[in-house]
Chains A and B, each alone.
Chain A
Amino acid sequence: MRHRRRNSIVIGVTFVIVALIYWYFAPILGYHVEWAGVTMLFGLGWALGIMSYVLTSGSGE
């Protein structure tokens, strides 16, 4: 149970970190920051965190 929650959080935070890296480094590297992309990466982190919890838990019935 605890492992599943921790792994789900790690997966979710991974996508948030990717979003933050893109947000921070894109202007430095001379690229335009697409805010829709940053937002979707945040959302993806949240959604995949839940999904990983669901998939590792599965249905008990």
Chain B
Amino acid sequence: MTADAHALQPVADTGHGTTIPAGGHQVRGGISNPVLGMLLFITSEVMFFSGLFAAYFSTRAANTPWPPAQFKDTLNPLSLILIATLVLVLSSFTCQFAVWSIRRGDRTGFIRNISITFVLGIVFLLLQAYDYTVLFSEGMTIASGPFGTTYFTLTGFHGAHVFGGVLMLGVILYRGMSGQFSARHHDAVEAVSFYWHFVDVVWIILFSVLYLL
């Protein structure tokens, strides 16, 4: 961090002769360990999803027509999945509002926003589960050739990541309600917010590729 950047942020005395920015996650000389670990984890997740997308595009290029004739109108972007997408995008905003709240030391605002994010995450999962049942009823399953396999593999793994994110949100909500976070100490909140934004961005790419492209 440059001297100028340091000057822009309020600092707090740690009592050990050093100072840290009041923001919490940017500590003197580098990134705090929870955020560092989460960034490394997200980096590996980027390559994981890149591998899945690579398999999807490779499969798609080798199978024409795409989608197959029997599933030509099955994946409609103007359906329940659009609502699920909006729910997830909205949850990213509320997650960031929660981060900004705790940075200001506003614990009430933090708990309110992280609770909304938590609920929106669950709503997304329920909508996706319902969408799966609709697809099953229309005869599209993971065994429906390359089209079904790639669709359910991509969306299924993403759903598993959202489920993991909801668990993380639940943990930080519990910790927040226990008063464990403050304007200076909220590294876990920053780390989970990075993960949640990542999951949101992956879904936007997934939605664009599977439903619009």
A residues adjacent to B (C-beta < 8 A): 1-3, 34-40, 42-44, 46-47, 50-51, 53-54, 57-61
Contact = CB atoms under 8 A, between A and B. Distances in A.
Contacts of A3: 2
B57 A36 contact: yes
Nearest to B8: A1
B58 interface: yes
Interface string B26-60: 11111111001001101110110111011101101
Question: How many B residues touch the partner, as a band?
Answer: 20 to 34
Interface of B: 1-2, 4-5, 20, 26-33, 36, 39-40, 42-44, 46-47, 49-51, 53-55, 57-58, 60-61
A61 B31 CA distance: 8
Contacts, number: 80
Secondary structure class of chain B's binding surface, majority of residues? helix
B46 A43 contact: yes
Contacts of B55: 36
A60 B57 contact: no
Nearest to A48: B43
Given A59-B36, A61-B32, A1 B58 contact: no
Given A1-B2, A47-B46, A50-B46, A57 B30 contact: yes
Given A54-B40, A60-B30, A36 B58 contact: yes
Contacts of B42: 50
Nearest to B56: A39
